[in-house]
Amino acid sequence: SCAHQGRRRAGPSAGYLSQRFEGRLRLVLGDSTRTLPAHLREHPEERCDFISVDGGHLHPVAAADATNFRAMAASQHLVAFDDTNCPQSWCIDRIIDEGMGNGVIRTVYRDSSTEKYFRGYRGFTIAQYTGTHWSWTDNV
């Protein structure tokens, strides 16, 4: 498993997941547009069976995360994209739409939550990367 979160939220969730999945979680803190490529260079053999894309909401950052994590995906994996299926400008639905449109991801489940969160309505998408060669960052 792999995880990447901002510093403020990483502590409690990383602690729980490290206990629950002892020896299977590596938490890398920092700017994911820099830390993910560096981590992949330093650990080219490491692959993730569960990936959580829950970071920057600007298209270039979300595109870089989706592209970089794709290179780290195990053959059997799931990717959770947070903040999708919502109308707010900070939602990353464009990443999902582009990925599906270019055959890079196939969705397994899309949640369109009706519960109102502190910044409006939002959901998440569970997907898998395909073998198609295309990069979100080519279109940033």
Q: How many CA atoms lie within 13 A of 98 on its CB side?
A: 17
Predicted pLDDT of residue 1: 43
pLDDT at site 3: 47
pLDDT tens digit sequence for 78-87 = 999 988 887 7
The pLDDT score that the predictor gives to residue 9 is 58
Segment 15-27 shows an average pLDDT of 82
Give the pLDDT score at 113. 64
30-56: average pLDDT = 88
Check pLDDT > 70 for residue 121: no
Q: Which of 20, 27, 21, 23 is nearest to 2 (CA)?
A: 27
Rounded CA gap, 59 and 79, in Å? 18
List 73's β-bridge partners, or say none. 48
Q: Kindly tell me if the per-residue pLDDT of 107 is higher than 90.
A: yes
Write out the H or E segment, with its range, that includes residue 50.
Answer: strand 48-53
Cβ atoms 48, 69 nearer than 8 A: yes
Other Cβ atoms within 10 Å of 9 Cβ, number: 10
Q: What is the mean pLDDT of residues 58-62?
A: 88
Give residue 8's pLDDT. Answer: 53
Q: Which helix (H) or strand (E) holds 65?
A: helix 59-70
